[in-house]
A and B are shown apart, each in its own frame.
Chain A
Amino acid sequence: MRKFYTLLSREVRSYFYSPIAYIVLVFFLLVSGVDFYFQISFMNQRPVPYSVQEAFFNSVFFWFAFVLIFPLITMRLFAEEFKLGTIEPLMTAPVRDWQVVLSKFFGALVFYIILWVPTAFYFAIFQYTTGRPAAGSIGAYWGSYLMLLLVGMFYLSVGCFASVLTKNQIIAAIISFCAITLLFFLGLVQFILLDVSSATRDLLGYFSALEHMGTFSRGVIDTRPIVLYLSMTVVMLTLTHQAFQSRKWRL
């Protein structure tokens, strides 16, 4: 456990050694800030049947920024170590493969959570300046951030898997970007293809991150998406572990 912690702390710190972390942080802060501003100015013009918090987590802007950050966070995880050869001293130290895989995943997750921390201040500032709550209930905050955590874990594990496949960071980024976009749009199919039989639409609806976020951001905690995302994360991390081990035999 101590070795895992050592690896994890290096992973988290290594984000802040490179400029990528700061670029991602600034980009994300900018997009989410602009989004928040637009949502509020839109709501200033007409009455709407939803809260500021709901609007923020369900806007197009938000999702645009959302799918873009995962390749940026995960592309370097394994690919960089393969490219620089630092995988050699790493794997000849007495560490287990799963410790390395999990430390990289949780390192990315910690960075992802850091990314979201400033958004909590938006609501706090809104409440402070207007004197009104930004959300319908406290539960809506919990739901939104829980959903972000769940979807984030799944997409980060997809990014981990993409990164373990290659030693080229750009290729890793493209693979994970395509995979995450596809997964994301799978849920949109139900809005586009109206003539698809309702059973198919319902099935696809289960995978729709948009729909899940819609539910959770109202503060309704549905256990089905929780199970879906957690189990998919486990599947992707298992695949990552397998691919990481197979590297030895492909050398």
Chain B
Amino acid sequence: MAEPLPDTFPRLLLHQAKVRPDRPAFREKDFGIWQTWTWAQVADEVRALACGLASLGFERGDNLAMIGDNRPRLYWAMCAAQSLGGVAVPMYQDAVAQELSFVLQDAGIRFAIVEDQEQTDKLLEIRDQCPQLAHILYDDPRGLSHYARPGLQSLDAVMQAGRDWHARKPAFFLEEIARGRPDDVAVMLYTSGTTGKPKGVCQTHTAFIRAAESGCKFDRLRPEDNILSYLPMAWVGDHLFSYAQAMYVGFTVNCPESGDTVMIDMREIGPSYYFAPPRVFENLLTQVMIRMEDASSIKRGMFHYFMKVARRCGAEIIDGKPVGLADRLLYALGDLLVYGPLRNVLGMSRIRVAYTAGAAIGPDLFRFYRSIGVNLKQLYGATETCAAVCLQPDRQIKFDTVGPPAPGVEVKIAEGGEVLVRGDILLKEYYKRPDATAEALDASGYFHTGDAGYFDADGHLKIIDRAKDVGKLAGGALYAPNYIENKLKFSPYIREAVAFGPGRDRVCAFINIDMGAVGDWAERRNLAYSGYADLAQKNEVYELVRECVEKANAELAADPMLSESQVHRFLILHKELDPDDDELTRTRKVRRGLVAEKYAVLIEALYSAGKTSQFIETQIRFEDGRTGKISADLRICEARTLGADAARSVA
């Protein structure tokens, strides 16, 4: 590009509206039809929103909260806030009222834009605790016509006021955008907080634009690309892909009709650029496998035959490695008969680049998508680094690393193994938390990620665990709980696992079975069950899980560093770990300390040799906020472990 691109998001929007006014910028499926807004229209809408906010008294430096599913107007609201020199604060739409309350108070939110009645109700519920919250503006008026509350009004009304404002002060909007500086804070993303309260990560325009730029150039993204925005807007990944990169490149952002229709919408849109956490890929694969089990025998036979071919040579073909002619021909046939139709069903026919991040992805899972011709890659990053630290380059894909550092990013491994990052993409600060900022950003400008990892021979980064979680067993062997848990979770039957071990002589674990996969498995065996708790305690299920654990043990045993970390005893929990019970974060990471505290008796039992079951009573919270108690007698099961010699012969 000849001239440098604009340096703030509002200016990027004006740029896109000038360069490609008639290209689709946003689509949203509404009343069954995809509605389209061009870049010129989006610029218009953002202006109406910004002027409307100004008419309500939104000022430079104000924080604007947005709570809801991925809706075009919520994305535009981010840009509107930034146009006025404000900061966008997207929040998790599935957070309960109390969690929202903390962020609203912490960020001193005066203006909140919400999607619908559900979110409005939540805010009204906690309004007493957040006296500074003066304006609640809703996108979808349904069910809200009788809510006469001060400061509550529809976004339509605000935008109309904005249009009137613009008619009176036509220069206002552009003047405000001209006042913005690239090092202003553009967005504040709250970290989910595996420990302690969430912290607001302040990112400047420059940081996100640099992050977007490096990703876009790296993967040669084009204005013709399409993405589907369905991940929480408060998540850094969505902000990078659906907002920063879309603004930077000018590609089209598609918003699904509702959370339940994502699969259907994905097929209709056929995105060319796609991003999902491993969990989503896993669910898709599980669905495919379940449907294949029900298919006719010819189809099933064909599927399994060609999947074997794909496993043998699919990943090599997409990586451009040499593959024999016979396999190439077979793969081409398989593409015609199986892979192509399968990609179509998954809505992945047009994908050029797909990324996964946020958690470790199982090698089998990763290989599956690559072998059917989906260019799935991994990236590594955090909220504090605009998500873009390491990216896997095309054709240099490894299953257990996250690739070399992205252009313009410097990565260093500290003494203790912690990964340190430096570059334009780093956070400016944690909002109102100089103590935390000082802890995370050191004097030489490195951000301490808190992850432990190392570079392999090719300069690709390999992440093993959170640095603080890495510990030692009583015998002195290295212990990386996430690494163990991920090995367990790579089994389709295990949804969640929590390992215990530091300071003890061996590793034990809690298991959550995957209700969908195990339920289906049980049905096929005519195994009757009444619900999760019942299914989890079946002997047959324990056997199934024991096999999975022993498989993970075999893999752990093969790694000389981690062979001591094999799981000796495990139990299957009587309830699913749930963010509503504070056991998981909103991004579904296990809150290790809380779980250990809550289930202390169970851990005790795991480490009492000879004990084969333990009674437990647990309080749970239902979706509507009520609480109840469940109790169960949990069985404890031994798993076979392998000695170092045996492992070598297996490997």
Is the A/B pair a real complex? no
Chain A interfacial positions (CB closer than 8 Å to B): none
Chain B interfacial positions (CB closer than 8 Å to A): none
